[in-house]
A and B are shown apart, each in its own frame.
Chain A
Amino acid sequence: MSATRRQFMLSAAATLVSSAWPSISFSQTEPRRGGVFNVHLGSEQRILNPSLRASTGVYIVTSKIIEALVDLDADGKPVPQLATSWSSSKDGKTITFKLREGVKWHDGKPFTSADVQYNALELWKKQLNYATALQLYLHAVDTPDAHTVVFRYERPMPLDLLLRALVDLGYVVPRHLFEGRNVLENPANTAPIGTGPFKFVEYQRGQYIIAERNPDYWRKGLPYLDRVVWRIITDKSAATAALETGQIQLSAYSQLALADLDRLRKNPKFEVRSKGLEANVFNNTLEFNFRRKELADVRVRRAIVHAIDIKFFIDNFLYGLGKAAAGPIPSSSTFFPKGSQPPYPFDVKRAEALLDEAGYKRGKGGQRFTLKLVPIQNGEDVPLLATFIQQSLEAVGIKVEIVQYDIAGALNAVYKDGSFDIATGWHQYRGDPAVSTTVWYRSGSPAGAPWTNQYGWQSAKVDKLIDDAATEIDPVKRRALYAEWLKSVNEELPIWMATEREFYSVVSRNVQNGHNNARWPSSSWHDTWLKA
């Protein structure tokens, strides 16, 4: 009985998915079992433990081996994975999860609430990036029985925030391998053991990582694939070549050169897509250092933004992949206030007028003042934008000197030493402003914490809005708070979010059931299969 119901659910899900994804042709035949799925990995990972390291580079590998409490569906809504249901108390301080029964770790031990308790208190709260802030007010995790966990918070925790965050920050590793041992040097960090559809086999540094089918996976009969192999290819052109020769079938999260993305778009063997990766969105940024008196004047900051024709940059340097941002909340987010527009459109005359008004008239040689620009090399487009900013500002009389560092050096210069005037890099939005976005604006982060407010700027109003929204359990009120916050930061402009961009995957058309949720490259691939 249960088997037929499961089959029904599966086929219902398939129908749903196929109607939502008209670009994939679902063959009527049964999914093919077996096969090796080869995936591009652009950089070596130090450890393969998503409970200690939250980054797409870790997820793209470990989410097949280790599972989180929840995952996302095609619409970007949290759906059950290791947790089957959840509820929040009226005051928002107690959140209860029911866990899936009959789930086993790859070493045969049962998965229970004790595992979740340990991960939440010892790993997420103490070690995991972004989760230490998220779980700051988590003070206890109760385990009334083996399949129930109760999270107790000192302040109200919005359920939708927690669920959305746990998709990335809620991976569970086995308690019995970590408790009482050195967490950071644990062998399970590089030879991961989880509950996922694939078991870890081998990690050859500098070459590849292999995982194979887990025959005891809790979704009976799945996964379809025999193996997943991640090949470490650091050179973008070489990775494109590996795709074209069929050595790899997927390169996700825009790890290829933009020029190659544009070229592969025309290749019938591949699909270049952003749908299926929309859970993460990123911006090109421009950070201002308020310790420079010129930049502390909001008119100068606005003038700088008015002086840069970002549309031109997107069309000509990014192959049109992106659009001008209307602030730090992307237009695809549920928190985006409808109808918001980029606040300071390209207008050189207005820029000149604002600079004049601020008292920085053109001096000798038409120059107003000089700024030091530090590019934070997140991607190949960062140096391009840096040069574009330099030339755009030159036109309104601001001379820009670009100072080159590698990424570690740039982070140090901008977020620790404050030895920059303006900086440009990427900001990533992870589904909810409270996960990794508001930290760019909230005052109080100690110096040396990258991608936090280290600009010498502070606004009591913005700080209060951020704090209120993080503990507001009414979703409607929460959205309103963020709308107000967006308005404030757009007005003050401590950082300019220049572009709004999606990540891209290049995937072979042989891959079936691909990109069928909002973070597919970081999901478990339990239903993925390869056409012969």
Chain B
Amino acid sequence: MENNSLLHRIKEGILDTCYICVREMRGTITDEGVLIFCVLVPLLYPLLYSWIYNNEVVREVPVAIVDQSHTNASREYIRKFDASPDTKVAYYCTSLEEAKDLTAKQQVHGTLYFPEDFERRLYRGEQTKVGVYCDMSLMLTYKAIYQTAQVVASDMNAQIQIAQSTDYTKRDNEITTKPLDFDEVPIFNTTGGYGNAILPGVLMLILQQTLLLGIGLAAGTARENNRFKDLVPISKHYNGIFRIVLGKSLCYFMIYMVMGAYLALVIPHLYHFTSLVSAQAIIGLMVPYILACTFFGMMLSCLVRYRENVMLLVVFSSVPFLFMTGLSWPQSNIPGFWQGVATIIPSTFGVRGFMRISSMGATLQDIQTEYQALWIQVLVYFFATCVVYRYQIISTRRRAFNHMQRLKEMAETAKQLKGAGSDIDTQKDS
């Protein structure tokens, strides 16, 4: 008998879990707000972002030239500078003032200045200087202009050294100009592309933020539709915390495994971003990441009173969350306090792990810290969700009980009044 009832309870629990999951799923599809954030945004937003960063690198940055030297050397420098892939000679000016004016009008992002004695100093055997003026409002244009100027200068320097030395063979020349040779190897993200650097982080963050929005909106709707403004309805299926939490999370987990696969695999493939993922690593990361995000969202959803408040709370947080991952400002240099805050948020580890899997081909062992942290978050947020839901259920029951009690009392008093009334009637009659 005992065994039978236990089996029965397990069976009932599984059935209820499935029932809640199906209801939640139906809610997701019929609720426009949830549909937008859980399905449409994860599908379309990455396409938009990929389009924005599609060009990856900055080429042909326009630069103004102020050549007061007008000599062979300065013209050679300008020709080489113009021929470089990253920069373009857009204007020739007669003075620095004129070039400044062009910068103000956004026609150029930097200026090269050749003083009148540029070549003369070279032939005198003195060091000559080329002035490089950069508009610092954009780091990428500054980098393009400065690095190109350096490369052109060192290229011309090598030629001048060769001309001055008394070597006999080509090999001698090579050794004179560069006794210690070196190779520069961009080991990961070899193009140094902006999209390749930013997009993996943005993709993972979209997953988390849309999940938070979707769960929050669904919870807000549930609460507003409920008669007592409660999150958990009174029904024989919503009996027991584990089945509620598991049922709801199962629904989001199923939707987001599909979305996760789309974001992590399809988008990089469509736009030809670097993707070095291995099946084992990506599954090992995505399962805890999506679970952690789901429970994190469910835990927070209890705080939501009106559904629209969710948007106010979640949308802005995307930007600080992205910076906390160390995507832009390096992780090693994030102040300790913010490092601590970052550990609360699933996206911190999700983004870090995915960046390394996708851009660097890391294995699951390499991202051990990240996925362990994610599993800890899964456990902590799961139990926190259960606690919060338990509290919700208790308050729901109490409110419902009070309501019933009040109804009963009202009925009682009505009956008594009626009884009293009939008493009076009988008295009158007699």
The answer to whether A binds B is no
Binding site for B on A (CB under 8 A): none
Binding site for A on B (CB under 8 A): none
